[in-house]
A and B are shown apart, each in its own frame.
Chain A
Amino acid sequence: MIMISLSSIPSHSPSVVYRRINDEYLLIPLTGNIADMDSLYRLTETGAFIWELIDGERAISDITSKIVEEFDVEADIAEKDALDFFREIQEFLHFRET
């Protein structure tokens, strides 16, 4: 189990193909197997906003600051939701610590 914290720096995994479709992203894992609906992942507009901020340089705390700037949300709620989000899609990401 990877420990994900605000200081973690996420980057996109090379084992995922992603495609922007309107305001959303579709994540397609390169599993070496036939895809099915259970393995595909759809990011809504907010998730897509975060996905585009993932560059291998920004820590989750930096990304959270951007969320607070962009959306009408309190910092502590944004931090909690962002951490939940990163835990949920961790199979599509790599993490390193600052």
Chain B
Amino acid sequence: MTVDLVIAGRRIRFHSREGLDVRPDERFSAFTVAAEAEPDLIVDVEPGSGEIPPAAMKVFDAQLMEEVPGGVINSGESFWEIFSGGGVTYARVFLKEPQRTAVLEMPHGEMRWRIRTGEFAISPQLSGGKDQPAAQFTAGPPNTINPLPYPLDGLLLYFLFSRAGDIMIHGSGVSCHGRGWLFTGRSGSGKTTLAQIFDRAGDRIIHDDRLVLRREEGRWVMHNTPVYRNDEPRSAPLDHLWIIRHGSANVSEPVTGAEAVAMILANCIQQNWDREAAARLAAAADDLASSVRVSRLSFLPEGSIRDYLRLRKEEDISIAAGAAEALLNAGKIITVTAGGYSMWPAIRPGDKVEIEPIGTRVPEIGEIVALKRDGGYVIHRVTGVTAGRNATLIRTQGDGVTREDEPADAGMIAGIVGSVVRSGRQQQPPTRHLPRWFNRMTARLQCWISPKV
């Protein structure tokens, strides 16, 4: 008896001996396919409790975490364990109702694994040996076994995807107007909230909990995995990954290089005991950060975040911003055209704003700076500078808005406003005009770049 599941594009074939039905629970129904193509992984499924050789060493131990009002606590009970030895990795899970253990055996370098489900066979001849207790129970109908009792399913998928160089990540994935966006972050950062906002707007939710990212035909694609009862296979090419947190405004800031890779890794599902797996994951995260845009996102939990992200995705603006940054880095002055009212009346829509390189200098309170944002710059005034041991935080705010921006580190300052040209007349950056009654959302500046030698 065989059953094929295709999850995140990888085919897993469960195989059992004659007369014993392999029946994954209903979470997997929509992922079950006809056994046509060659599988990526074959898993022999047998009843009974598997044994872990005494020589195998325990390398990972997960305790059962229980949700209680106000948070999650460690129950102190074993949930699952990983052992390694003799060229085999073993995953043992502790199941309840009835209490039993199931074991997944994964020989290194082989794609034929074995699961002992912890269920006892209904008849002695199927029990796998006369020393096995017979006719005890099966969790499902007679002569059936569930190959993937929770949490064994997640562990099998983790090892399958990890060994293939894929990434499993906590997050919400959405497809919005043909663009694949992934929001990842710590527990409570707003992943589910964002999925709900996009869901209400009619966008396609890939998943709101756990995703697999795979490089396929030169691009990264996000897939869901079976978690909930009504899950069905969903996927979308990935355009942009955000590391999210709740904030006082919608602000997206690009992150690159080692910082981007670190932020991705911090949200991946991983077991950091295996050097090869850790190195493989770091390589995959590096490739992901090089191929897909990565940003830090503070957001308001309301529909405005969707509009904000949709509007800032104009490719030409992003390219212009990249060119502007290159010019500033080369020591040149650039001119941008103001497009919003956030600095009104000091800077008005249509004003030509000259931005000078700032180099390593820290801006002073009162100066107007260009902050790097996805798709362009925001030009706001410095309201505070806090020097820490490892970083300097810059606080900024538009003259015409009532809220401060999210604090930025000094590296997010692209340049400093040297002068403003209005109606053909050049003037120094004006000092602040009060009162700040003109309350508009922060506006991005459209970049029309003219390098000044």
Which A residues fall within an 8 A CB radius of B?
Answer: 14, 17, 19, 21-22, 24-26, 28-37, 40, 42-43
A30 touches B275 (CB 8 A): yes
Q: A17-B282, A32-B59 are in contact. Are A26 and B272 (CB under 8 A)?
A: no
Q: Mark B281-316, 1 if CB is under 8 A from A, else 0.
A: 011001001000000000000000000000000000
In the complex, chain A residues whose CB is within 8 Å of the CB of B265: 26, 28, 35, 40
In the complex, chain B residues whose CB is within 8 Å of the CB of A40: 262, 265-266
List the one stretch of B253-261, B365-373, B435-443 in contact with chain A: B253-261
In the complex, chain A residues whose CB is within 8 Å of the CB of B278: 17, 28, 30
In the complex, chain B residues whose CB is within 8 Å of the CB of A14: 275
B60, B259, B272, B289: which contacts A28 (Cβ < 8 A)?
Answer: B272
A-B contacts, 28 listed (Cβ < 8 Å): A14-B275, A17-B275, A17-B279, A17-B282, A19-B282, A19-B283, A21-B261, A21-B289, A22-B257, A22-B258, A24-B257, A25-B258, A26-B261, A26-B265, A26-B282, A28-B265, A30-B273, A31-B273, A32-B59, A32-B272, A32-B273, A33-B60, A33-B272, A34-B270, A34-B271, A35-B266, A35-B268, A40-B265
Which B residues fall within an 8 A CB radius of A?
Answer: 59-60, 257-259, 261-263, 265-266, 268-275, 278-279, 282-283, 286, 289
Would you call the interface of chain B mostly helix, strand, loop, or mixed?
helix
Which single residue of chain B is at the shortest CB-CB distance from A48?
B258
Which single residue of chain A is at the shortest CB-CB distance from B256?
A22
Q: A24-B257, A30-B278 are in contact. Are A42 and B262 (CB under 8 A)?
A: yes
B261 touches A32 (CB 8 A): no
Which single residue of chain B is at the shortest CB-CB distance from A32?
B273
A30 touches B283 (CB 8 A): no
In the complex, chain A residues whose CB is within 8 Å of the CB of B282: 17, 19, 26, 28
A19, A25, A29, A35: which contacts B270 (Cβ < 8 A)?
Answer: A35
Q: How far is the CB of A84 from chain B (nearest CB, A)?
A: 11
B258 touches A24 (CB 8 A): yes
- In the complex, A40 Cα to B376 Cα: how many Å? 30
What 19 new A-B contacts, CB under 8 Å, besides A17-B282, A28-B282, A34-B269?
Answer: A19-B283, A26-B261, A26-B262, A26-B265, A28-B265, A29-B272, A30-B274, A31-B273, A32-B59, A32-B60, A32-B273, A34-B270, A34-B271, A34-B272, A35-B266, A35-B268, A40-B262, A40-B265, A42-B262
In the complex, chain A residues whose CB is within 8 Å of the CB of B257: 21-22, 24
In the complex, chain A residues whose CB is within 8 Å of the CB of B271: 32, 34
B258, B266, B275: which contacts A37 (Cβ < 8 A)?
Answer: B266
In the complex, chain A residues whose CB is within 8 Å of the CB of B258: 21-22, 24-26, 42-43
Q: How far is the CB of B283 from chain A (nearest CB, A)?
A: 7
- In the complex, A35 Cα to B189 Cα: how many Å? 17
- In the complex, A15 Cα to B344 Cα: how many Å? 55
- In the complex, A7 Cα to B213 Cα: how many Å? 46
- In the complex, A37 Cα to B260 Cα: how many Å? 11
In the complex, chain B residues whose CB is within 8 Å of the CB of A22: 257-258
